[in-house]
Amino acid sequence: MAYEIKNECICCGACQSECPVEIIAEGAELYKIDATLCTSCGACVAVCPVGAIREIV
């Protein structure tokens, strides 16, 4: 399962710096995860201070 960043994102950048495959990028209003390249490691989820990252279901 890949992850996605929801509207609760505060654009702190914690997830981007933690991603081991470097597939998180800053978007216009919030960060974005390239779901096609996500390895579902969960590193981004662990560091998000507002819980904005969830599994795509």
pLDDT at 36: 95
Domain 3-55 has CATH 3.30.70.20: yes
Statement: residue 2 has pLDDT above 90: yes
Mean pLDDT of 10-38: 96
3-class SS string, the chain: CCEEECCCCCCCCHHHHHCCCCCEEECCCCEEECCCCCCCCCHHHHHCCCCCEEECC
**Using CA atoms, how far apart are residues 29 and 21, in angstroms rounded to an integer?**
22
pLDDT at 30: 94
Q: Do residues 1 and 21 touch, judged by C-beta distance below 8 A?
A: no
**End-to-end C-alpha distance for the chain, whole angstroms:** 8
Give 57's pLDDT tier (boundaries 50, 70, 90): confident
pLDDT at 27: 92
Domain ranges for the chain: 3-55
Mean pLDDT of 34-55: 97
Q: What is the mean pLDDT of the chain?
A: 96
